[in-house]
Chain A
């Protein structure tokens, strides 16, 4: 094999060039793949987050309006609210399951994972009722007496981990394949006496 005057490599040089190209590819390909996955993942995350924000807002409105019906004197059933928003939300969730959190709200996304497993979002409803006004007439006025005529607040949260394309070991959580989510909507509601 002979080298040419003008080419970078032929013959033995060409083999070396091929080897070099292979090594370069081995370096660049994972980096490129990581960038590609990060870009797709960011897009997916944005789509999922947008859908989640819209769903939580809808759930808060629903919970507030359902709770303020004259026929209802308690917080609306979380399963009913979840079922209502799930049809719209599930279209945007990629490989993530949506469940209703049984009572109150979980403290952190990890609580959802420990109960339902990975890639699960839990919808929960938490209601804060005002303190009863009668407490103000006991002689020692509690500091919260100014709030006794307030309407209850309803907080709807979507907590858990959504699926992502980040390979295991490289994710935020260490396990990879999922991104923590905690989206909240709070609103006041009316409550009729039972």
Chain B
């Protein structure tokens, strides 16, 4: 075999060695992008349903002592489960939102790293864009490490009134009180079979607002 012939062979091998990994890398990253789109949509869906489900609970209902959620201890976990949230003393609507969110997002537990926040907050104003949750503050008894954070207004039986989130883009300039839910998670591709070729981990965020149904206003 001549030197030139060996040179041609070597060139072909080198071309293949360069092109094949590049092609596999492109495919892996395309699949990762598709996965990101799907998870983002699931996150949006869960957050929207969570915000809406708050209105299935009475405005003045607060959870009594001993109530935990997420997963629902009535079906899926023991009350002493470390992942459970103690919701005693916060509006029942917050627990409904959390149950809806956790029930809808259960499929991606292995690849999402949640950025936890207080479950139940009150107050907040859309003009305070630079402050997290528009300046809303957690209820005194709110669990601090929840995958979803909801700003929920409520009236307690003792007469204390807790404001919801004031959205001034609705009915400006006075605004309207709405329920908002936020969830943030990092999609960790290193825990997927794509880890060998995908070196980015996007942070996904979902925000949803729900207006009270007309008959409750």
A residues within 8 Å of B by Cβ?
Answer: 8-9, 13, 16-17, 20, 24, 27-28, 31-32, 35, 38-39, 42-43, 45-46, 49-50, 53-54, 56-57, 60-61, 64, 68, 128, 131, 143-144, 146-147, 149-151, 153, 155, 182-190
Contacts and interface: CB of A to CB of B under 8 A. Distances in A.
A172 to B, nearest CB: 10
Nearest to B48: A57
A183 B107 contact: yes
Contact of B34 (A24, A42, A57, A184): A42
B23 A32 contact: yes
24 contacts: A16-B5, A24-B12, A24-B16, A31-B23, A35-B23, A35-B27, A39-B27, A42-B30, A43-B30, A45-B34, A45-B38, A46-B35, A49-B41, A61-B49, A61-B52, A64-B56, A128-B72, A144-B74, A146-B63, A146-B66, A147-B74, A185-B103, A188-B56, A188-B99
A57 to B, nearest CB: 4
A13 B5 contact: yes
Q: A interface, by DSSP: helix, strand, loop or mixed? A: helix
B53 interface: yes
Nearest to B95: A150
Nearest to A191: B56
Given A24-B12, A143-B79, A151-B56, A54 B23 contact: no
A16 B106 CA distance: 58
A20 B57 contact: no
Given A9-B8, A57-B49, A188-B96, A146 B74 contact: no
B38 A187 contact: no
B103 A184 contact: yes
A50 B41 contact: yes
Contacts of B79: 143
Given A8-B5, A153-B99, A187-B53, A46 B37 contact: yes
Nearest to B92: A150
Q: Taking each of A128, A153, A155, A182, which has the highest tally of chain B beta carbons within 10 Å of its own beta carbon?
A: A153
Interface residues of B, number: 47
Contacts of A43: 30, 34
B104 interface: yes
A3 to B, nearest CB: 9
Given A54-B45, A187-B100, A31 B20 contact: yes
Given A38-B27, A147-B67, A182 B107 contact: yes
A28 B19 CA distance: 10
Contact of A53 (B42, B74, B96): B42
Interface in B92-131: 92, 96, 99-100, 102-104, 106-107
Contacts of A189: 56
A146 B56 contact: no
Contact of B8 (A17, A35, A49, A64): A17
Given A24-B16, A28-B16, A155 B103 contact: yes
Contact of B100 (A13, A20, A186): A186
B65 interface: yes
B59 to A, nearest CB: 13
Contact of A153 (B41, B42, B66, B103): B103
A88 to B, nearest CB: 15
B63 to A, nearest CB: 7
Q: Taking each of B52, B65, B79, which has the highest tally of chain A beta carbons within 10 Å of its own beta carbon?
A: B52
Contact of A146 (B26, B38, B67): B67
A35 B28 CA distance: 9
